[in-house]
Amino acid sequence: SQQGEEDPQALSIQEGENATMNCSYKTSINNLQWYRQNSGRGLVHLILIRSNEREKHSGRLRVTLDTSKKSSSLLITASRAADTASYFCATAIAGGTSYGKLTFGQGTILTVHP
Amino acid sequence: DAGVIQSPRHEVTEMGQEVTLRCKPISGHDYLFWYRQTMMRGLELLIYFNNNVPIDDSGMPEDRFSAKMPNASFSTLKIQPSEPRDSAVYFCASSNRDRVLPQYFGPGTRLLVL
């Protein structure tokens, strides 16, 4: 089963509104990352939050991490039509032999209407 | 830096043919990852290398798939013989030894097996 699962699967909003996407995971992590994928393109890294951090900001992005609930959220404020894309969370599992490996969720498709 | 380079960008082939996908990672990166993305299964990690050595190939579907990394600047993913169910977008990504740094994705190879 997927280590990371995003919710909702699809989100449709108007330009200027905020968009919130959630990610849940199952095992202990070293860090959690969020990626964006525009249609027909490769994934682009947005932000990384370590397991000992609770919140992180980057421009219009805000990420929170709750390790007790094994969940994270990505908030995009004042959304723009250009934010239309799929958003994926990816987890780096703590310890073991999986050093460097990320496990991706199924993604949230965000549509921002002008 | 040109980023991760993949070739070809598109490949159409007939069932039973051999397919070779190529990847050039970002210079200085010592991790290289091969992913496959489909609508049904999402983004799946096939195999990854560290310092040209395969670390985890548990995601390789079957013996028809093989991957090599003969040097730090080149990797191939080969499918022989190809089948229609192999149709997908194949991504290559690279990162360096610091586990907190993100993975950088190439533009992908869109493979269609008829």
Mind telling me how many Å the CA of B103 is from chain A's nearest CA?
7
Say whether B105 and A31 touch across the interface (CB within 8 A).
Answer: no
A61 interaction partners in chain B (CB closer than 8 Å):
none
CB-based contact A101:A11 (threshold 8 Å): no
Q: Which amino acid is located at A72 in the chain?
A: S
Identify the CA nearest to B106 among candidates B87, B89, B96, B91: B91
Alpha-carbon gap, residue B71 to A40, rounded angstroms: 29
d(CA B86, CA B77): 12
Question: Do the chains contact at B56 and A101, CB–CB below 8 Å?
Answer: yes
pLDDT tens column, A45-78 = 999 999 999 999 999 999 999 999 999 999 999 9
Asked if residue A18 lies in contact with residue A79, where contact means CB atoms within 8 angstroms, the answer is: yes
Contact (Cβ atoms closer than 8 angstroms) between residue A104 and residue B42: yes
A11 closest CA partner among A103, A87, A106: A87
Sort out which chain A residues have CB atoms less than 8 A from B35's CB and list them. Answer: 104
In this predicted structure, the answer to whether residue B112 has a pLDDT above a threshold of 60 is: yes
Contacts of B30 (CB under 8 A, 6+ apart): B50, B51, B72, B96, B97
Please state, as a whole number, how many other Cβ atoms lie within 10 Å of the Cβ of residue B22. 16
Q: What is the pLDDT of residue A103?
A: 87
Q: Which residues on chain B are in Cβ contact (under 8 Å) with A45?
A: 102-104
pLDDT of residue A97: 59
Interface test with B, best of A41, A101, A108, A109 (most B CBs within 10 A): A101
| Model confidence pLDDT, tens digit, residues B52-94 | 999 889 999 889 999 999 999 999 999 999 999 999 999 999 9
The residues of B whose Cβ lies within 8 A of any Cβ of A are 4, 31, 33, 35, 42-43, 45, 48, 50, 55-56, 91, 93, 95, 97, 99-100, 102-108
